[in-house]
Amino acid sequence: MSALILRNPATEAVVAELPHATVEDMDAAIVRAAAAGDAWRTVSPADRNRLLRRFADTVAAHADELAELETRNMGMPIGSSRWCANAVADTLHYFAGAVEKHAGSTIPVAGGVDMTFHEPLGVVGLITPWNFPMLIASWKLGPALAAGNTVVLKPAEITPLTSIRLGELALEAGLPEGVLNVVVGPGSTVGWRLVEHPLVRKVAFTGSTVVGKRLMQGCADQVKRLTLELGGKSANIVFADADLEKAAAAAPGAVFDNSGQDCCSRSRVLVQRSVFDEFLEKFVAAAAAWKVGDPMDTATAMGPLVTADHLARVLAYSRDLQPVFTGEVPDGPGYWHPVMIAVADDMSPVACREEIFGPVAMVIPFDDEADAVRICNDSEYGLSGSVWTRDGARALRVVRAMEAGTISVNSNSSVRYATPFGGFKQSGLGREHSMHVLDHYTELKNVFISTE
């Protein structure tokens, strides 16, 4: 059994050393989840609601501990980690409340009564990434468990610590054994078993588009249910009539948050030509004030990248750029990459096309509304995006024309548990959050009863 050594990305100190699960361990967890299925699906809705709320409250009571663990494991600033830990609790509460509200319907038909049921799928495999480990786990745990499924959670092998802790807290809160299983191991072997194993009825994945495509091919064999939340190259569109102060103040957060390791990162900043220089100057000034450093310091806006390997991947993009602004990074150990702003005439540079997943903003000019929409949609991705304008009709015209699933106007907002989140094109398949996601964790069964 190989061991996994996890390092604090800000200090390179060893945070934990833990064994990798094997494929046999994964198989055992899947069997355990299947065995717990009958008991969980027959827990009364009110009791399932209560148990999930107790899980949520237990998470909230351990929010500081979870936040610190996340920050030491993946380098996210502690303020963001605390926000995430509380958002995990809120997400679990939302889906606890949904247990008794995701109702079927009766349909008028001749000769009898017709009704629908939302049946649990059975065992669901949750495969999560390293950028928001506990938060993204909760996006899948909440609806999967609320709908009556049992789960096997396979966190990213480099950031498993908060997911392991969530598993412990679930038991502490009284979730029956076997309902929530956590298995830590490499994706291509241990994670892949969730695709191969016939007892797993659905895979819910967040990660890279490359792996998402592989999972889609793998799931085809068993027509296994699959939802995918993949990459992005989202646009932050700033029109000349926008509140430029506000748009520029928000622009660093839109792209540099979580060191740009965010699938919703607005890494293409599209600016109307008539205000291009004025906006760029304000954007650079706001980025210069962006505090990069010790992620345990509550004043820090941005920490390091997650690993040395990921730093090398981001540098492979950024070293060929001629940035108009490059920020400072701390001396000493850690996987630091400065915030960087570069200008491109159009979409041709590779840094405008590919997801860098680092703190690099590409600023591109546009002429008019049609030009902005054309550049925005000239991407294989379509996850999120923002539009900044004071003209309400323009905002509506542009958001309707954007090929993206999650859009905000005069804001960076992306993900809220009560509203649907997901991507167009190669950014994904299906939606997370809101009551809509429950359809992805249930089968719709139709029953006709004759009254004749």
Cβ atoms of 423 and 381 closer than 8 Å: yes
Q: Applying CB under 6 A, what is the total number of residues that bind ligand ADP?
A: 15
Please tell me whether residue 156 binds ligand ADP under the rule CB under 6 A: yes
In angstroms, the CA 33 to CA 208 distance is 26
Q: In what order do the strands lie in the sheet with 325-326?
A: 325-326, 340-343, 360-366, 268-272, 235-238, 384-388, 406-409
CB of 261 to ligand ADP, least distance (A): 8
Q: Say if strands 3-7 and 384-388 run parallel, antiparallel, or are unpaired.
A: unpaired
Please report the beta strands in 180-314, taking only residues with DSSP state E, as ranges in sequence order.
180-182, 200-206, 225-229, 235-238, 268-272
403 by Cβ neighbours in 10 Å (0-12 / 13-18 / 19+) ranks as middle
| CA–CA separation, 129 and 137 (whole Å) | 9
Residue 402 to residue 408: CA distance in whole angstroms = 11
Question: Is 172 considered catalytic here?
Answer: no
Give alpha helix (H) positions in 157-265: 161-172, 192-196, 209-220, 244-256
Please classify residue 2 by burial: count the beta carbons closer than 10 Å to its beta carbon, then call 0-12 exposed, 13-18 middle and 19+ buried: exposed
Residue from 208, 326, 413, 434 binding ligand ADP (CB under 6 A)? 208
55-63, 70-78, 183-191, 336-344 -> range binding ligand ADP (CB under 6 A): 183-191
How far apart, in whole angstroms, are the C-alpha atoms of residue 1 and residue 404? Answer: 43
Q: Is 229 a catalytic residue?
A: yes
* Residues 42 to 71 in contact with ligand ADP, rule: CB under 6 A: none
Helix (H, G, I), strand (E, B) or coil at 1: coil
Q: Which of 70, 157, 219, 263 is catalytic?
A: 263
Q: Which phi and psi angles does 67 have, rounded to 5°?
A: -65, -45
When the beta carbons of 208 and 326 are compared against ligand ADP, the nearer one is 208
> Out of 75, 143, 187, 252, which residue is the one contacting ligand ADP (CB under 6 A)?
187
Which tokens in the block code for residue 300? 């820090």
Would you say 208 or 410 has its CB closer to ligand ADP? 208
Interaction of residue 305 with ligand ADP, rule CB under 6 A = no
Q: Shortest CA distance to 348 belongs to which of 362, 368, 369?
A: 362
Q: Which of 9, 191, 252, 334 touches ligand ADP by CB under 6 A?
A: 191
In the complex with ligand ADP, which residue's Cβ is closer, 401 or 429?
Answer: 429
Residue 374's Cα: distance from chain center in Å? 26
Which parts of 246-285 interact with ligand ADP (CB under 6 A)? none
**Which one of residues 96, 184, 211, 314 is an interface residue with ligand ADP (CB under 6 A)?**
211
Q: Which residues of 203-222 are buried (b: 16+ CB within 10 A; e: fewer)?
A: bbbbbbbebbebbbebbeee
Member of 192, 256, 325, 335 binding ligand ADP (CB under 6 A): 192
Q: Which two tokens stand for residue 359?
A: 């703190």
Over the window 390 to 429, marking each residue x when it contacts ligand ADP by CB under 6 A and - when it does not, the resulting string is ----------------------------------------
Sequential DSSP letters for 305-353: -S-HHHHHHHHHHHTT---SEE----SSSS-----EEEE-SSS-SHHHH
CA distance 231 to 355: 7
Smaller CB separation from ligand ADP, 231 or 293? 231
Catalytic one of 70, 157, 229, 355: 229
Which residue's structure tokens are 């999930």? 52
Stretch that binds ligand ADP, among 138-146, 171-179, 205-213, 397-405 (CB under 6 A): 205-213
Which of 25, 70, 157, 229 contacts ligand ADP by CB under 6 A? 157
Least distance from ligand ADP to the Cβ atom of residue 176, Å: 25
Q: Mark residues 97-136: x for contact with ligand ADP by CB under 6 A, - for none.
A: ------------------------------xxxx------
Our finding on whether 200 is near ligand ADP (CB under 6 A) is no
Give the residue, chosen from 214, 374, 394, 425, that forms a contact with ligand ADP under the rule CB under 6 A: 214
The residue (of 194 and 250) whose beta carbon lies closer to ligand ADP is 194
Q: Residue 142 CB, nearest distance to ligand ADP (Å)?
A: 18
Closest separation between CB of residue 75 and ligand ADP, Å? 14
Position among 102, 154, 433, 440 found at the interface with ligand ADP (CB under 6 A): 154
The residue range among 70-78, 88-96, 185-193, 347-355 that interacts with ligand ADP, by the rule CB under 6 A, is 185-193
Judged by the rule CB under 6 A, the positions of this chain that interact with ligand ADP are 127-130, 154, 156-157, 187-188, 191-192, 207-208, 211, 214
Residues involved in catalysis:
229, 263
